[in-house]
Amino acid sequence: MDPGWSSYPEQPPRLQYDPCFQANATTIQLTSICFIQRTIMTNKKTYKPCDLVIYGALGDLSTRKLMISLYRLENAGLIESASRIIGVDRFDKSKDEFIAIARESLEMFLKDDIDPEVWDRFSGRLSYLAIDLTQPDQYQRLHAVLDTAERVTINYFAIPPFLFQGTCQGLAASGVLTKESRLVMEKPIGHDLQSSKQINDAVAAVFSEEQVFRIDHYLGKETVLNLLALRFANSIFTTNWDHNTIDHIQITVAEEVGIEGRWDYFDKTGQLRDMLQNHLLQILTFVAMEPPVNIKAQSIRNEKIKVLEALRPITSSNVEEKTVRGQYTKGFCKAKEVPGYLEEEGANTESTTETFVALRVDIDNWRWASVPFYLRTGKRMNYKRTEIVVYFKQLPHNIFKDSYRELPPNKLIIHLQPNEGVEIEILNKIPGIDGGIRLQKTKLDLSYSEAFKKTRMFGGYEKMILEALRGNPTLFLSREEIEQAWTWIDSIQDAWSHISDPPHPYPAGTWGPIASDSLLARDGRAWEA
């Protein structure tokens, strides 16, 4: 999630309710392939307390995500007792006013009741400091609240990227940084390779690479982490995870929401940069990477970078064959009429910015030779859905033609949201004694909410914040990863700039333009329904 600002706001954004889904129950538990981060509940290791300084503490990201995640960590007893949370923003607020804003955030966005005892502990950690990040002399105010001798300072940038350089310089000049200090950076880290390098260069002038924690909250989701266990702890998948057995793989990140008041920001970004450059490519690297030497940060990053380096370029010569752009028009979502992209508040009716992207991605290495990856992501789609579908190859000979003229392929379906879990679609015999063997598709289901009713489930932000507090860089992105991803994305963006045709229209509440179906139909395939 990006901070969602096109400029430094004059007033704190108002809080808005954001509905979410609840997980459904399932029946058959595949506990042998499950990977739950139980260590975060049982690990008794102590960590040095922190001063978590949130820059942009009154903004959308902080109030909608960070405060909720920090409260849940507090509720789980995962924050060191002496750690503190310091909100920094340009607005003149008292400590009590900041605590009241945090309380309002919890009441609006937390799906559970607020525990009075937990709130007392949590609110006791909170303090506030008014600093205009564009005024270098004001950073000296941090000396009054930071205790660098007793606590590690975690600088969390929940601010627009154009403030990153000045904020780093202000922190360095103020003398509050130590070798233990850390920086947590939210996306977007640039809008292309050149701007990404400029931001990273500015950060590198103050912080070493080991001190920088670049967040993609998708990497904190249990089902994304479970890919490591699924692939590398189960021989049934480890030995069948390549071009010999897999036909193709689909990755879908569908958003039900539209622009939600972010039109100016989004129109300068588009779905390719906003979602595909980070979330979908990160999921792709976990699916496609080679087995790492171990589960340490550098080993995993090395293998992910190899995947990004092996992506076949999409250029002007093949962009129309490999990509589809779309832009939503008015339609219906949950039986409610919603406006089209060009009808949203503040819209430029001449905009050709894409709200939907579908790609065929090829990875030029031995493991994935001739196995296409189909990626799609869009706004105002039928419903919220993030999933990976692995299609295995069809059997070459069919002895069950009474049931199926052609045997359908087995599928592994990994649901990332809203209902986290794993399904395997197989063929089973229909029970009965009055005939031959008749087959039917059935699913082996693992629902996280059902299989782990007694295990506390955490979201991506909780996991990422916890790892930043503990100084574990494993799930965070390296500079090389981000710049390699931008190199590939920039080629697509450049190719699109030479196409005169506008994005394909699609009604809100659907699965995107018809052209995205044609992208797979040309290869004799179809999107997962």
CA-CA-CA-CA torsion sign (473, 475, 481, 485): negative
**Token pair of 362 as six digits:** 């090829």
**Token pair of 170 as six digits:** 């202000």
CB atoms within 10 A of CB 393: 15
Task: Specify the pairing of strand 439-447 against strand 421-429.
Answer: antiparallel
Give the residue numbers marked as catalytic: 279
- The H-assigned helical ranges of 114-158 are 116-125
Residue among 154, 223, 211, 131 at smallest CA distance from 179: 211
CA-CA-CA-CA torsion sign (35, 37, 38, 43): positive
Tell me how long the chain is.
529
Largest CA distance in the chain: 86
Alpha-carbon distance of 480 to 478, in angstroms, equals: 5
124, 161, 211, 245, 285 from 241: Cα distances, Å: 50, 38, 35, 7, 14
* Residue 501: DSSP 8-state: S
Alpha-carbon distance of 405 to 399, in angstroms, equals: 9
One-letter amino acid of 161 = P
Alpha-carbon distance of 427 to 440, in angstroms, equals: 5
* Residue 143: DSSP 8-state: G
One-letter amino acid of 249 = I
Alpha-carbon distance of 168 to 369, in angstroms, equals: 44
Contact in structure between 226 and 354 (CB atoms under 8 Å): no
- The H-assigned helical ranges of 143-244 are 164-174, 193-204, 222-232, 235-238
| DSSP codes joined into one string, 31-61 | GGG----THHHH-------EEEEEETTTSHH
Contact in structure between 3 and 186 (CB atoms under 8 Å): yes
Q: Is 363 helix (H, G, I), strand (E, B) or coil?
A: strand
How does 122-149 read in b/e, with b if 16+ C-beta sit within 10 Å? bbebbbbbebebeeeebbeebeeebebe
Residue among 423, 360, 372, 414 at smallest CA distance from 389: 414
One-letter amino acid of 364 = D
**E strand segments, 255-372:** 323-329, 331-333, 336-338, 356-361
Q: Please name the helix (run of DSSP H) or strand (run of DSSP E) that holds residue 413, with its range, or none.
A: strand 411-417
Residue among 90, 24, 95, 27 at smallest CA distance from 59: 90
